[in-house]
Amino acid sequence: MSKTFNFYDFHPALADFRAEVTDGLRAEPKMLSPKFFYDKAGSELFDAITELTEYYPSRTEIGILERHGEDMARLLGRQCLLLELGSGSSRKIRLLLDALQPRVYMPMDISREHLIGSAEALAADYPELEVHAACADYSAEFEIPYGPAHLPRAAFFPGSSIGNFEPTAAGELLQRVAEHLGDGGRLLIGVDLKKDPLRLQRAYDDAEQVTAAFNLNLLQRINRELDGDFELQQFSHRALYNPQQGRIEMHLVSHVDQTVTVAGERFSFVAGETIHTESSYKYSVAEFQQLANWAGYQAEQVWTDDEQLFSVHCLRVDSRSTGGRQECREAVN
């Protein structure tokens, strides 16, 4: 085990989960945040998705990190406090640790058990590294629970998870990260690129139906934690590319007219009605750099794979380039 391992628990309260789910099921169209996919089973299903042939983003991003890790480490700066947002299995950061040699690694994730397991395993493998794991929701204001002032800060945000946010909210999240990093801090972020819609669709609707199980697990989680009575066989997974918005959408489609109870409240579905459970925005390199610029960063470098499927950007916080929210929306639309 590393010389320091700490765990900080800011996991969202059950009451917040209940309020967000019931608000989402009351809304028209019905929608739930993708952050709720990640209970223990959801995190394990996501790890299985990353192994699928159709799911090119993980292996492509890993290939870019393997190829350019030394350059990335040089830009981020050694001996830093390294925050990782949505760290999941912490698999990708391992590709950078030897070159980067951070003083402190702070994985942050909403999925508590999965985070503890991954962070403990990493701490055992890197005994010289101080590991401070934080279970928190980065879609709202979040704290950096341990941050000695003398350590320069950098952040790693892989997996194109930024694409799960509407562009304005993505800009706001990048701004919050910039505030935590301070002027001159670096963010290394993985962003999925626009491409052939068929390839995208297959990545989110695989033949083995692992993504379908991942999507449906959300209903199982609601049944278990919020006293719901969703019948899973009455819903199915749908993934489609929305070209106007430049995003993949995942939905759960109701097969029949039905009424479902969650936390004591009844929700009606007509046959064919959907719950929108995830958006995954795709950006060109230029679009993402524009978004980052408005959020207060200068683009320093970008790496892509030979097929131009995925991009990894190194951004430097530069408060002079901070734009407003309206401009942030315009930058990407």
Ligand X SMILES: C[S@@+](CC[C@H](N)C(=O)[O-])C[C@H]1O[C@@H](n2cnc3c(N)ncnc32)[C@H](O)[C@@H]1O
Positions in the binding site for ligand X (CB under 6 A): 35, 38, 43, 46, 50, 58, 86-88, 92, 109-111, 137-139, 158-159, 161
* Min dist. Cβ of residue 135 to ligand X (A): 8
Q: Which is nearer to ligand X, 80 or 110 (CB)?
A: 110
* Min dist. Cβ of residue 41 to ligand X (A): 12
CA 317 – CA 82 distance, rounded (Å): 15
Contact status, residue 312 vs residue 157, Cβ threshold 8 Å: no
Q: Which is nearer to ligand X, 114 or 202 (CB)?
A: 114
Q: Which is nearer to ligand X, 58 or 254 (CB)?
A: 58
Q: 195: how many CB neighbours lie within 10 A of its CB?
A: 16
* Min dist. Cβ of residue 147 to ligand X (A): 18
Contact status, residue 316 vs residue 300, Cβ threshold 8 Å: yes
CA 325 – CA 94 distance, rounded (Å): 35
* Min dist. Cβ of residue 18 to ligand X (A): 17
Contact status, residue 211 vs residue 204, Cβ threshold 8 Å: yes
Angle between helices 210-225 and 14-26 (to 10 degrees): 110
Q: Which is nearer to ligand X, 117 or 273 (CB)?
A: 117
Q: Which is nearer to ligand X, 31 or 298 (CB)?
A: 31
Q: Which is nearer to ligand X, 93 or 252 (CB)?
A: 93
* Min dist. Cβ of residue 267 to ligand X (A): 23
DSSP 180: H
Dihedral angle of Cα 253, 259, 263, 264, to the nearest 10 degrees: 170
Query: Minimal CA–CA distance to 47: which of 104, 91, 94, 98?
Result: 91
* Min dist. Cβ of residue 324 to ligand X (A): 24
Contact status, residue 40 vs residue 114, Cβ threshold 8 Å: yes
